[in-house]
Structure 1
């Protein structure tokens, strides 16, 4: 093993594998690439869902605002009719409705007790309407104009639409206007004729029904959106689990190919004590890796220094009978997630195994180089190269797992990328980038 060459590199540190795609809000951030622990735990609710809760908030606050406006509109008329009412009820009834409207406003803002307060306002209004003829100082005296309760009818039907179930809300939107129409034809209500009372009743009923339809349509639409959103999140969670299963399959396939199959091949080709010792060491490493794969928790995002990965790759290279010239830069401040470190280590070892097994022609032993350096993405680049016999990438059978599963898919699952360049008679170069980099489109070399 030749001595390592050193060169200075800028201090770098990053928390997880990311790719350089701008985020959706255009802030220029990056998105995690690969399997994240949050995805394994399950999908999160969207930041601003269109849901039944939001619709209820909008409806309740709209009703509260309308109630305040109509109450202010009715206030001058109520004050003008105070002297016609019995002293106690002239103050108690308007006060009860004012307190009810105030409670609706507070409940709508606090999002607590909306149904209780709106239901109370609807019932108090209906009671005030029914008792109107019996609480006049002179029931036989004809009221000049409309009772001030007319201006609160729309508020009451809106409160009923918010507070009551659909059937009872429909009944209320008919009952309250009819009660007002009856009061309107009485002397205490202005002594209007039946036609005018009927027109007022029809107007209040139609307006109440329109408000009721709007509120319940919004509720049904919000419920449908919630159901669709829940279904979409469920499908997303299923897709994430399937992705996690696929990543695990790639990892298991890689381990089986790298460790078990390579051990079998080494044992079968062992023709000397040194080769047998190497096969024994590979078998021991295979058992260790299989046990580690069963114990490592998914989504582990803890960080490890890149120097630790460098040491692991050096130790693995020392076990091969063929020497590797190791070239590295100082990267003391660079760290990467443990899952990415494991994937880069396993892919690098597999690349070295491929070089040792396939690069030589039995006559001249090729030279082999292993280099590690920082890259422009804030990560590291590992390059394994040899001057061996090379191969034609287009002729590699699909059932060969070493390049596709053990190197490329394994690195991609950790957020990186791997490119294999080779030409018959001119050697092979395997370049591993983490995090993934955009490769030049005009590169003349053909990747595997």
Structure 2
């Protein structure tokens, strides 16, 4: 039973509730004892009733302090003083001829209150220890009082039965809480492991996609360059990407910065335009206002990587729509779209057997859509081998990581269309 509360709060609440229930029962027992003592005194049966009523009232006052401030000091004082009160009441009651032994309802009431002390500290073990101490002191006071007046001693049946019930209830509560604690620990460990697996999966997808895109893009660029020495700008771009892959920060997204290399041309240039001699791989990040997040407009020209990859593989790209719609995305989503579109264009150059492709951009309904289309040979989606990671990892998994979606249509002899849809705003 958790009472609709979190596990830790529920256990603490139940423990306090049991302690308060014990205190309430103790107050009821002391209240009945006071009433009986007053009735005995008021009817003139025994003047000692007034003394007994006063003693029980003092015991109730001490119990109130324990219930209000459950500290070791107040609990100890209550037990010590309560033991003396039980002894005094025993001598008063057993001096009369009403009861044959100490096993009677009058003496059972203060013994019950002594046993239901609750005590300092939370938990079932503490409660059982304090109850055992109270029960033992109460029975000891009965024995000592009976010996003092020469009466017959018998353990209080009512106090003993209440003590057994309390131990059973508290033991069950402790075992239940321990079992629930183990279950909670197991759930916590399972949740942590699941979170770690998700992070590991995310890093694995990132590593596979980055290695696939970089290696495949450069290999195709080298193949398209033909025989002879490799262009120095392409060579520089390969060295730069190789340093990123084997470096310690391979999993971080590089911030735009000046660096040569044809593989990172600015996206603002036409896709089929020749690269200038002093072209840089990355634009420096524009200074942003304090505490303001980086935006695509500030730091990342739209489809920069995709259009540069298309130039490297000799693919002409016709753009329909406004590239500025990508400014509605944050930097993480803009990069994901850029890299996914780059992989689409590389796939066109590698498989479609055409030299041109179309890229259409649009925005609406809170989403940015980019479609990559070609009129190449097409393929059957169901015939793609499972070990081919271009579409599955570099495109689909990359977009899904930023809460986007990828749809693909392809017909043999007609061509292929891939539609990438990403929500606006932050990932």
CA RMSD of aligned residues (A): 4.2
1:327 to 297, 302, 321: 321
Cα deviation, 1:368-421, whole Å, max 9, x if unaligned, reads 12314244xx44333222222222212222222111111122222333332222
1:97 to 39, 59, 67: 59
CA–CA separation in structure 1 for the residues paired with 2:185 and 2:178? 10
Could you tell me which residue of structure 2 aligns to residue 125 of structure 1?
A: 82
Instruction: Tell me the number of residue pairs that the alignment of Structure 1 and Structure 2 aligns.
Output: 365
Q: Does 1:392 align with 2:380?
A: yes
Q: By how many angstroms is 1:217 displaced?
A: 1.0
CA–CA separation in structure 2 for the residues paired with 1:184 and 1:333? 93
CA–CA separation in structure 1 for the residues paired with 2:85 and 2:343? 86
8 A contact 2:345–2:357 mirrored in 1: no
TM-score by length of 1: 0.66
TM-score by length of 2: 0.69
Cα deviation, 1:185-209, whole Å, max 9, x if unaligned, reads 9979xx8xx6xx75x8223211221
Cα deviation, 1:21-68, whole Å, max 9, x if unaligned, reads xxxxxxxxxxxxxxxxxxxxxxxxx96115542332222222233334
CA–CA separation in structure 2 for the residues paired with 1:332 and 1:116? 70
Could you tell me which residue of structure 1 aligns to residue 158 of structure 2?
A: 203
Structure 1 residue runs without a partner (length 5+): 1-45, 108-112, 437-448
1:69 to 25, 28, 36: 28
Q: By how many angstroms is 1:96 displaced?
A: 4.2
Could you tell me which residue of structure 1 aligns to residue 336 of structure 2?
A: 343
Distance 1:254 1:163, change over 3 A: closer
Could you tell me which residue of structure 1 aligns to residue 111 of structure 2?
A: 153
Q: Secondary structure at the match of 2:419?
A: strand
Q: Does 1:293 align with 2:250?
A: yes
Cα deviation, 1:237-257, whole Å, max 9, x if unaligned, reads 122112211110110111100
Q: By how many angstroms is 1:86 displaced?
A: 8.8
8 A contact 2:63–2:78 mirrored in 1: yes
Alignment of 1:429-440 (within 5 A): 429-435=417-423
8 A contact 1:411–1:417 mirrored in 2: yes
Q: By how many angstroms is 1:214 displaced?
A: 0.3
Alignment of 1:15-94 (within 5 A): 48-49=6-7, 52-80=11-39, 83-84=47-48, 91=54, 93-94=55-56
CA–CA separation in structure 2 for the residues paired with 1:157 and 1:421? 79
Q: Secondary structure at the match of 1:60?
A: helix
1:243 to 198, 204, 211: 198
Higher relative contact order (CA 8 A, sep 6+): 1
Cα deviation, 1:219-263, whole Å, max 9, x if unaligned, reads 121111012211220122122112211110110111100012321
Distance 1:317 1:265, change over 3 A: closer
8 A contact 2:406–2:418 mirrored in 1: yes
Distance 1:58 1:304, change over 3 A: farther
